[in-house]
Each structure stands twice: as structure tokens, then as C-alpha cells.
């Protein structure tokens, strides 16, 4: 069985064909992405109207490339992101998927973008997640902890009360004069500092709500904290920029990990699934790998950590198609 996935929720236009093999695992046949990121770099962020116009230009070539020499007979269904996202961008994907569904007489499967992100973890055929699972979805607009009893049986257990983790990366990156896209660029600057100064993080920035019993976060205060630090210097040097980047990253990563581990200790899931664009962050990946096996108390958690390949963390259509296999 093969599903064509289409993803157009922001500035990436994605189309992917995923096949379910007889042993039940998923195989990526194609995964094509066009991005209008360079255009948004010029304006320092995504202008929704511009992103939607780029979606219109890219959608047909991207789908054609994803389908390659397959014909509609080879495709069993079309999976499409229906939200959350930028309305203009989403409409381009949804209308295209509806047209193809009508022409090809194939069912259309609507997928929530955030649930889709989680299914990037089902694209590793060697290590499929087991239930119950706990998922941390960290994207540009959302930071959510989700308990998954099974496919389709999901419960929200906590999330950000203001800015998302990705948004905190992006906004502090801008304050540090780092180019768009802020998150990955801040991650690169932070890595330079950590490589040169291992174990020298001073915990300069706050970790709000870290002692709060809920599984919620608050990241909006980081912007003010970074702005205050910058005000103290007449000019932020390259080395200071790297240091501040490492400190911001550590504050975000520590907050995410602390609550995740507490949730693991409470819910005792078989799997912990990292998902969303921020899952591409190397420090978050490394620290989770180090911390999850032993929890906060040092006792073994028996929770297996699943992290998608870096290229499958940020927006793409492979996980949208993957999610559709498990949506009845
Ligand atoms: O899931 P995603 O690709 O798009 C949304 O659905 O929002 O997530 C994008 C977010 C952005 O905030 C971006 O800065 C962040 O993920 N991001 C990163 C990294 N790569 C992407 N943040 C920190 N480190 C990274 N390496
Ligand atoms: Zn996303």
C-alpha cells in the first residue's frame, strides 16, 4: 500500500510517497521539499502572503517529482495537512489534494500537522515505537507533551503557556542579530561555544516554571532576559554571541528535558518520542539521550527514546503520509 503525503502548512512545500511493506514497517519511496526560506531570510521572518504565493508555484512540480514514474493506480490514498498552520499556505495544499482525490478517485486523509510530526518516529523501520508512548512536540508554534495510549488515543498533558520553544529560539536569535532561520543558526553558534568551552555553561538565563508541578512551560521571559544582557554591552562580540547562544539553548533544553523526565516518571511510557523542528537541535538530542535512561532519581526508566533523523524533524510530507497509515 502506498500513500502520497502533501504538506504546505508554512514555508515548505512537501510531497512524499510512503509504502507500507508486508512486515508492517514504512518505507520512504520519495520525500521532496521545496522551501521559500531564502526569500524569508531577506525579510527576517515568514510573511504569510509571500509564503502562500510560493506554495502555489511549487506545489505541482513538487508533487510531480515525488510521484516520479508511479501512476495514480499505484497510489492508494492522499494524506494532507489540514492545520495548524498559515491559512493561505494550507489552502494551497488542501485544494490540490482535493482536486487529485477527485480526479484519481482516491480517498483523502486529513492529518493534523502536530500529530503528523510525531509519526516521523514511525519512519525508522529498525526501531518502531511501542505504546503507551509519551511525545514531546517542539515546533515553531507549539510545545506540547502528549500521552499516546495507542494510535488515535491521545491526551494532552501539558504545553507552553506563551511562546513555543522554537519561537523562543527564533526570537532570541533575532535579538542576537543571527540571520533567519534563527533556531538552527543559534544552535550552530552555541555548538562553537560548547566545543571550545565544554562544561562552562553558567545558567545565565532563567528556566521558568521548572519547579512548577504542571507539565507546562513558559518561554516568553527569555526574550527579556536576553535583551537585558545585550543592553549591558555596547557591542556584542562574536565570542559573546556564541556564549549567549549556548546559554539560551541550555535554558530551553533544560526546561524541556526536566518536564519530559518528570512526565516519564509519572506515566512510565514504553517509548518517548521527540518530534518537531526543534528536535533537530543537537544539544536537545544529546542531553535527552544521556538523561532518559536514568530519569531524575537515577533509577532506570525502561522508556525507549525515539528521535527521528534530523532531515525528518523539520517540516516535510513523509511524516504526514506516515501518520495516515494509522488514521482510520
Ligand atoms: O516543525 P517546524 O519545522 O515548523 C513548524 O511546524 O513550526 O519547526 C520550526 C522550528 C523553528 O522555530 C526553528 O527555528 C526550529 O524549529 N528549529 C531549531 C533547529 N532546527 C529547527 N531550533 C533549534 N535548533 C535547531 N537545530
Ligand atoms: Zn512543523
Quick check: CB of 33 below 6 Å from ligand 1?
no
Task: Using most ligand atoms within 8 A of CB, pick from 140, 191, 248 the residue to mutate for ligand 1.
Answer: 140
Angle formed at CA 133 by CA 22 and CA 325, multiple of 5 degrees: 30
Residues 6/97, Cβ–Cβ less than 8 Å: yes
Q: CB of 135 within 8 A of CB of 148?
A: yes
Query: Ligand 1, from 9, 35, 114, 169: best to mutate by most atoms within 8 Å of Cβ?
Result: 169
Q: Which ligand is nearest to the CA of 140?
A: 1
- Closest atom of ligand 1 to CA, residue 249: 23
| Average pLDDT per consecutive 10 residues, the chain (328 residues; last block may be shorter) | 98 97 96 92 91 97 96 97 98 98 98 98 94 98 98 98 97 95 97 94 94 96 94 90 98 97 96 98 97 85 95 98 93
Least distant ligand from the CA of 277: 1
The number of the ligand 1 atom at minimal distance from the alpha carbon of 280 is: 26
User: Is there a contact between 25 and 125 (Cβ–Cβ < 8 Å)?
Assistant: yes
Residue whose Cα lies nearest atom 20 of ligand 1: it is 184
Q: Are strands 77-83 and 108-112 parallel, antiparallel or unpaired?
A: parallel
Euclidean distance between CA atoms 24 and 44, whole angstroms: 43
Q: How far is the CA of 150 from the centre of ligand 2 (A)?
A: 22
Nearest CA to ligand 1 atom 23: 183
pLDDT at 2: 98
Radius of gyration of the chain (CA): 20
* 11 alpha carbon, closest ligand: 1
Task: Give distance in angstroms: CA of 185 to centre of ligand 1.
Answer: 10
pTM for the whole structure: 0.97
Name the H helices within 176-314.
182-196, 221-231, 238-267, 282-291, 310-313
Q: Spell out which residues have Cβ within 5 A of ligand 2, the ion.
A: 139, 315
319 lines ligand 1 (CB under 6 A): no
**Rounded Cα distance, 103 and 23, in Å:** 31
The DSSP secondary-structure symbol of 233 reads S
Predicted pLDDT of residue 76: 98
- What pLDDT sits at residue 37? 86
Which contacts qualify for 143-148: CB closer than 8 Å, 24 or more apart?
A: 143/217, 143/219, 143/256, 143/278, 144/114, 145/215, 145/259, 145/260, 145/263, 146/118, 147/267, 147/269, 148/118, 148/269, 148/273
Helix (H) or strand (E) holding 70: none
**Is residue 140 within 8 Å of residue 214, measured between CB atoms?**
no
Task: Give the count of beta carbons closer than 10 Å to the beta carbon of residue 153.
Answer: 10
Q: Is the CB of 144 under 6 A from ligand 1?
A: no
pLDDT given for residue 234 in this prediction: 82
Whether the CB-CB separation of 28 and 65 falls below 8 Å is answered with no
Q: What is the pLDDT of residue 199?
A: 86
Question: Is the distance from the beta carbon of residue 277 to the nearest atom of ligand 1 less than 6 Å?
Answer: yes
pLDDT at 145: 98
- Ligand 1 site, residue 14, Cβ cutoff 6 A: no
Query: Is residue 208 in contact with ligand 1, taking CB distance under 6 Å?
Result: no
Q: From the CA of 183, how far away is ligand 1's center (Å)?
A: 6
Whether ligand 1 lies within 6 angstroms of the CB of 184 is answered as: yes
**From the CB of residue 2, how many other CB atoms can be counted at a distance below 10 Å?**
15
Distances (CA, A) of 240 to 18, 193, 235, 245: 45, 9, 9, 8
Whether residue 182 has its Cβ less than 6 Å from ligand 1: yes
Amino acid at each position: 500500500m502506498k500513500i502520497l503525503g502533501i504538506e504546505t502548512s508554512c514555508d515548505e512545500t512537501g510531497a512524499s510517497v510512503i509504502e507500507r511493506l508486508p512486515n508492517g514497517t514504512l518505507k520512504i519511496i520519495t520525500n521532496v521539499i521545496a522551501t521559500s526560506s531564502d526569500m524569508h531570510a531577506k525579510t527576517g521572518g515568514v510573511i504569510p502572503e509571500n509564503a502562500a504565493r510560493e506554495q502555489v508555484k511549487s506545489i505541482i512540480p513538487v508533487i510531480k517529482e515525488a510521484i516520479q514514474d508511479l501512476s495514480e493506480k499505484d497510489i492508494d490514498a492522499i494524506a494532507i495537512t489540514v492545520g495548524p498552520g498559515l491559512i493561505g499556505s494550507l489552502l494551497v495544499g488542501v485544494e490540490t489534494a482535493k482536486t487529485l482525490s477527485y480526479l484519481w478517485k482516491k480517498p483523502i486523509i486529513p492529518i493534523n500537522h502536530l500529530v503528523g510530526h510525531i509519526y516521523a518516529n514511525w519512519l525508522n523501520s529498525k526501531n518502531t515505537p511501542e505504546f503507551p508512548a509519551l511525545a514531546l512536540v517542539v515546533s515553531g508554534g507549539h510545545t506540547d507533551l502528549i500521552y499516546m495510549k495507542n494510535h488515535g488515543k491521545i491526551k494532552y498533558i501539558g504545553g507552553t503557556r506563551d511562546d513555543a520553544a522554537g519561537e523562543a529560539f527564533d526570537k532570541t536569535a533575532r535579538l542576537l542579530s543571527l540571520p533567519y532561520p534563527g533556531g538552527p543558526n543559534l544552535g550552530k553558534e552555541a555548538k562553537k561555544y560548547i566545543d571550545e568551552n565544554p562544561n562552562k555553561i553558567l545558567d545565565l538565563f532563567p528556566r521558568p516554571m521548572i519547579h512548577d508541578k504542571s507539565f507546562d512551560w513558559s518561554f516568553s521571559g527569555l526574550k527579556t532576559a536576553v535583551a537585558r544582557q545585550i543592553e549591558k554591552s555596547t557591542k556584542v562580540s562574536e565570542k559573546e554571541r556564541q556564549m549567549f547562544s549556548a546559554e539560551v539553548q541550555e535554558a530551553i533544553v533544560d526546561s524541556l528535558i526536566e518536564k519530559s523526565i518528570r512526565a516519564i516518571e509519572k506515566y512510565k511510557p514504553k517509548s518517548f518520542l521527540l518530534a518537531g523542528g526543534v528536535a533537530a537541535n543537537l544539544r536537545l538530542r544529546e542531553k535527552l539521550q544521556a538523561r532518559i535512561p536514568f530519569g531524575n532519581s537515577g533509577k532506570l526508566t525502561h522508556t525507549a527514546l525515539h528521535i527521528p533523523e534530523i532531515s525528518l524533524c523539520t517540516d516535510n510530507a513523509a511524516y504526514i503520509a506516515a501518520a495516515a497509515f494509522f488514521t482510520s
